[in-house]
Structure 1
Amino acid sequence: MRLPLSLFLCIFLCSFKVKAQSKLIVPYIKAWEVSDTSQTHEAEKTYSLLKSKRDVNEYHQIINQMYAYLKDNPDDRLWIRTTMFDVYGRIELGVWKSSEFAKGGPLLIKCIKIASKLKDDQLMAELYAQYAELSPYASSYVLYNLKAIELQKKIGVSHFVYVANRYYNVSLGLYLNEDYKQSINYGRKFLSFDSKEKNGTDPNLHILQIDIIGAAYFRLGNIDDSKYYYQKLLDTLIKKPHTELDNQQLWIAIAKGNIGRILALQNQEDKAIPLIKEHLETSLRLKSFNNVAIAENNLGNIYLKNKAYGKALNEFKNAYRYAIKSNLLKEKALASKGIADVFKVTKEIDSAFAYYALHQKYRDSLTENVNNGKLSAINASIAFDDMQDNLQEANNTISNQRLTRNFILIAIVLLTVISLLFYNRKMLQQKHLAETLARKQKLAEQEANQAKEQILSFTENIIEKENLIFNLQKQLADGYEQLNESLLRYTLVTDTEWEKFRLEFSKAYPDFLPSLQKVLPSISPAEERLATLLCLKLTTNQIANTLGISKDSVGRSKRRLKQRLSLGTESVLEDFICRLV
């Protein structure tokens, strides 16, 4: 019986389609099956095809055919590579929006768990790097980049691509967490990579990295090095212009604006103002409102310093408006303080207090954001360690199950196997206990560091309030004497606050109070308070304001404490107290 021509053609076309589809994924399977040190470069070739073609339909065909192939041919390595390609493609081709990047996290964590069973550090390094790239502002961003760097250095950086990017990412993450020194170290390492090592790296990262280092040096107060890097940024842009004209002009303006800010600090306002104004005008023209806010704040500070209060107030108000528009918390804090400073010197007291309160609110939010970021990073590190422990435990369990199943068939060694498993379990429990104790110790150290930061914040708060009172005393008219006296009577350390302070102080300096009680067993609570404040190196006036007593009372208390400690006339009480830390 002869088949109809139409049916024959249908069968022929269907078979051709199946054959064509299978051919489509052959090069991907071949590249992704590689398990030696060439695997990263082989996989990168497939990513390059994705970037060059940018064919969404073909991408979907590859993914669908690969998952279909894996159903009939299960393979952990192929599944991991397919998932990595899937996540990468969704981001690169815009299948996922930025708000959806987090969806790739659970997929990659699953890949990490499977890769752990394969005991393939090179594959793990790639997964760590890709997981970190999903969200540059996540708490795990620095951690996973550092883990990737660690494994890449162990295996050999020549076996990886975009190695320099990991150092840029760590530098950025550390800068956002205000760890400026380490940010500079990793940033300079990024800049030290030669063009071959940076092959394929986005050229914009070089510009961004110089900016990060310049900003980090500025935050550390090292304005000479900051100026050097912003001049380096300017020279780089002139030597090798940005491919996009708007970006070229904006980055030149940013470099000049930062140089201008530094010149202003060096009392070279005549050179600084034109540079900052160029930064402002370019930012306005290109509608880069965050840079507008920065430039306006810089001009406001110069005018305030030169007592041009009207101009300063106008610049700060503009900065505040654009900072709100761009939702830039740091610039809102700087602008509100600038406005408050102008109102203070022009004796508009109510307005000054209102903007100082606003400034304090923004500062508290900034501090909270940084502290939350640091705490999240610690939690991410603990979670990572827990995951590694669980992976190790799971691998050990699988291994033990296989051993048990095999050794059950050999009766003669059954008791030996049971003994080995029992011993192994005890060792795992001891290891887990040791790791738990180590994590608790790490958390305790973190709590101590946080307590020290709170004690430092407490000390700085006392100094700021004392300066505010001192300045207001100079400027307020006789009609405000009552307000002045009420400020002077303000005490920070009430009984309740003292207990909170004592708790935080003990966390920060756990050895101080026991050492003091050992030297003076009968020490009174009042003497304890005085000693802790002396330990923080507060002045007599600051101690008086904090305890709500007069400076003379502080002096008498210090003399009594010195006598009780049996210190000679040549001994300095403060030095003795500080040596107890």
Structure 2
Amino acid sequence: MRPLKTPWLSSTLITLCLIVHLSTFSQGKPAPTISDYPIDGWVKQLELNKSEDVYTTLVEIAKKLLWTDSLITNNVIKELRQRGAKDSHRYNAQLAALQAFIIMHRSEVREADKIRLWLDKMMEEAYLENDPALLHSAQWIYGSMMYTSQDLEYAYAYASQAVESYELPNKYGSLHYNSIIYGEILYHTRDYRKCIEYSLKGIPNMPEEDKVNIFLKGKCLNTIGQAYYQLGIPDSAMYYYQQSLSKFSEKVHPIWVAINYCFIGQLNFDRGRLQEAKKELHFSFSQTINQENTIAGRAAVWLARIHLKEKQLDSADYYLEQSIILLNSLWPKRLLQEKNYLQDAYFTWAEYHQARNQSDSVFHYLKQYTRLHDSLERVAVLSGNKIAKLRIASEQNHYAVQTLMINKRATEQKRNWMVVGISLLLITLVILLDREKKLARYQQQLAAAQKEALEMEAITARQQLDQFTRNLVEKTSLLEQVEKKLKENQQLQEQEKMLEQLTSQTILTEEDWLRFKRLFDKMNPSFFTNLKEKAEDISVAEQRMAALIHLKLTSRQMAAILGISVDSVHKNRQRLRQRLQQPADVNLGDYLKRLS
């Protein structure tokens, strides 16, 4: 579908603007001055204007200012603002719309942000006026201008509010084209079923005795055909393409005849009717080249596909070159539909190079296709999200209108309730903030207490482990002293036997070991776990030896604690070193310390 590249504020706007443009430059008249404009008459017209006549009035004024010097235009609008009713929301809404309209049509590149500033001002004034008919007109102006600027999200949000929510196209006769334009917007936002629904709604309201209506009806039928094609219903698509074609003649509308043949040719290609498709696409290409490059580029892509099927690679190469040149010759801000055509061209290029067995070129164009395709899909997703948000905002604005009506009847009461509500809200916020602060303070205190408890537990465990170790060492020392004393005094055989029984007992009993291990784990939580990771088959005896080495006990102390000889301690140390695969030059105590 050809995107609109001209404003759609009314059916007569295009014709009138062109007439003014051509007559001004063809007749060579001197540039007008501010005194040449009926400013007082415009002020009176805008002040007394009915809501349903807003379009017509704005078009009449805009067509006289559109091709005037920008300085004079700005001065005219300034005079309109100064002489008019400054406190009238209706008047100010129309001036804002006029300002947006002139900015849009004076700029080669659509300055959507600047346009939206004035359109937002228009909406604000329309809401304050609290007139549903004026609000409807304002919403439709916003939507149609955004569509002209190809800002589809805003176009959809405001046009849908105007057409769907108020359902006023039939009520206001000057706006009976809304459904058709809204159908085009829906097509570009991929809502094809609603596109068909609203496009069909607009057709019965268009009497065919008007040539402009015949043109728009044919264009609308083409849109419906494209929507059916996107839905995968080719028979219905072909029917509406044929209906659209019947509205145009080659003498009056040769471009639109060619456009329809392009889409009909694509359908015949899909059906395998290559010769029919080739004839139709070639006609479309020859008629639109250098006039409607979007369609010419698309026709060239499908002609290339036909020649690829017929193994005519040179002809396919020609049409593909033409498609890239034509689609890249479009204005810098390429439209979404044109990007869709360009991705088709890239994919066909890949098929062409595949037919020539040129794998590098196939990869290059598939990469180009994938990048553009992913970009378009990402835009579609983001647009959907943005549309949803704008619809919500639009619904909120509609609700605001109803609120404004209540405000006029009970302003003081509303203000009082607002004060109460704000006060309650502030009190609630203060309570919530205070509760949050108390909760945060409690959590900090709890964390500090837990940290202090853990630190105390660690200190206690260290003290208990040290005390336990000292007791074992003292017990060992005591036995050594008794042994020494008995030997010095040369005790009787019975006493010597008792000493032998005492020293042969395991000083570190199983119960002692479990208690020792619990205390040791508190001080070194990961020691035994890391030790087992280094040596999965390490024995309990080796674990005990490792723990005593970690505590830096002497070999004699370890021998006494474990109830073995000093030589056995040395052997156990050596076995532990081998188990841990540590060379002799590595200090075993330092190594074990790193495991804790």
Q: Give TM-score, length-normalised by structure 2.
A: 0.55
Structure with the greater relative contact order (CA < 8 A, sep ≥ 6): 1 or 2?
2
8 Å CA contact 2:130, 2:405 repeated in 1: no
Question: 2:232 pairs with 210, 221, 226, which one?
Answer: 221
Cα offset for 1:25?
4.8
- Flag the structure with larger Rg: 2
Within the candidate set 246, 267, 284, 1:279 is matched to: 284
Q: Which residue of 2 aligns with 1:84?
A: 97
Q: CA deviation at 1:303?
A: 2.2
What is the aligned-residue identity percentage? 17
Instruction: For 2:119 and 2:210, locate their aligned partners in 1 and report how far apart those are by CA, in whole Å.
Output: 26
Deviation at 1:398, TM superposition (A): 8.2
Give the aligned partner of residue 153 of structure 1: 167
Q: 2:206 is paired with a residue of what secondary structure?
A: coil
In structure 2, the CA distance between the partners of 1:96 and 1:167, relative to structure 1 (3 Å rule), is same
Quote the Cα distance in structure 2 between the aligned partners of 1:272 and 1:395.
Answer: 59
Note closer, same or farther for the CA distance 1:237–1:404 as it changes in structure 2 (3 Å cut).
Answer: closer
Give the TM-score of the pair, scaled to structure 1.
0.56
CA distance in structure 2 between the partners assigned to 1:157 and 1:30 by the alignment: 28
3-state SS, counterpart of residue 267 of structure 1 = coil
Contact kept, 8 Å, 2:140 with 2:162, in 1: the verdict is yes
1:350 to partner: Cα distance = 3.4
* Deviation digits for residues 56-101 of structure 1 (CA, Å, limit 9, x no counterpart): 4896675333322247x6333332233334444555xx55555245
Q: CA deviation at 1:141?
A: 0.3
Please say if residues 225 and 240 of structure 2, whose CA atoms lie closer than 8 Å, have aligned partners that are also in contact. yes
How far did 1:28 drift?
Answer: 3.8
1:305 counterpart = 2:309: yes
Describe the shift of the 1:234–1:24 C-alpha distance in structure 2 as closer, same or farther (beyond 3 A): closer
* Contact preservation (8 Å) 1:300, 1:312: yes
> Deviation string for 1:355-397 (max 9, x for gaps)?
3222222221221222222222123223334555667778878
* CA–CA separation in structure 2 for the residues paired with 1:46 and 1:335: 42
User: Would you say 1:108 and 2:119 are equivalent positions?
Assistant: yes
1:294, distance to aligned residue in structure 2 (A)? 1.0
Residue of structure 2 equivalent to 1:48: 60
- Give the equivalent residue in structure 2 for 1:382: 392
Partner of 2:344: 334
Contact 1:301 1:312 in 2 (8 A): yes
The alignment status of 1:189 with 2:201, answered yes or no, reads: yes
Matched with 2:522 is none
Listed as ranges, the matches of 1:158-557 within 5 Å are 158-164=171-177, 166-195=178-207, 204-238=215-249, 242=252, 248-284=253-289, 286-326=290-330, 328-387=338-397, 402-403=412-413, 422=420
Q: Is the 2:157–2:391 contact (alpha carbons within 8 Å) kept by the matching residues of 1?
A: yes
What is the one-letter code of the residue matched to 1:107? W
* Residues 283 and 291 in structure 1, CA contact (< 8 A), matched pair in contact too: yes
Deviation at 1:144, TM superposition (A): 0.8
AA aligned opposite 1:225 = S
Residue of structure 2 in register with 1:74 after alignment: 87
SS at match of 1:178: coil
Corresponding residue number in structure 2 for 1:507: none
Give the C-alpha shift of residue 121 in structure 1. Answer: 0.7
Going from structure 1 to structure 2, the CA distance change for 1:387 and 1:332 (only over 3 Å counts) comes to same
| Structure 2 unaligned blocks of 5 or more | 1-33, 426-596
Q: How far 1:272 moved relative to its partner?
A: 2.1
Taking a change above 3 Å as real, the CA distance of residues 401 and 269 of structure 1, as seen in their structure-2 partners, is closer
| Separation of aligned partners in 2, 1:331 and 1:183 | 20
Distance across 1 between alignment mates of 2:237 and 2:288: 21
Counterpart code for 1:277: H
C-alpha spacing 1:375/1:311, structure 2 compared with 1 (3 Å): same
Aligned residues: 383
Taking the aligned partners of 1:209 and 1:319, their CA distance within structure 2 comes to 26
In structure 2, relative to structure 1, the CA distance for the partners of 1:426 and 1:30 (3 Å cut) is: farther
CA shift, 1:159, in A, is 3.1
Aligned-partner Cα distance in 2 for 1:398–1:202:
42
SS at match of 2:280: helix
Q: Distance in 1 between matches of 2:201 and 2:328?
A: 35
Contact in 2 for aligned 1:263/1:272 (Cα 8 Å): yes
Q: Secondary structure at the match of 2:171?
A: helix
Summarize deviations over 1:169-205 as a string: whole Å, max 9, x none.
2212221122222212222222222329x98967653
Partner of residue 117 from structure 1, selected from 105, 123, 128: 128
Distance 2:80 2:232 in 1: 55
- Looking at structure 2, the residues matched to 216 and 193 of structure 1 have their Cα atoms a distance apart, in angstroms, of 21
Shift of the 161–152 alpha-carbon distance from structure 1 to 2, 3 Å rule, reads farther
* 2:175 counterpart of 1:141: no
Inter-partner Cα distance in structure 2 for 1:313 and 1:114: 57
Segments of structure 1 that go 5 or more residues without pairing to the other structure are 1-19, 243-247, 406-416, 428-581
CA gap of 1:422–1:392, structure 2 versus 1, over 3 A, is farther
Give a deviation string over 1:295-316, Cα, whole Å, max 9, x none: 1211122222334344334433
Q: Which amino acid counterpart does residue 157 of structure 2 have in structure 1?
A: L
- The answer to whether the 8 Å contact 1:121/1:151 transfers is no
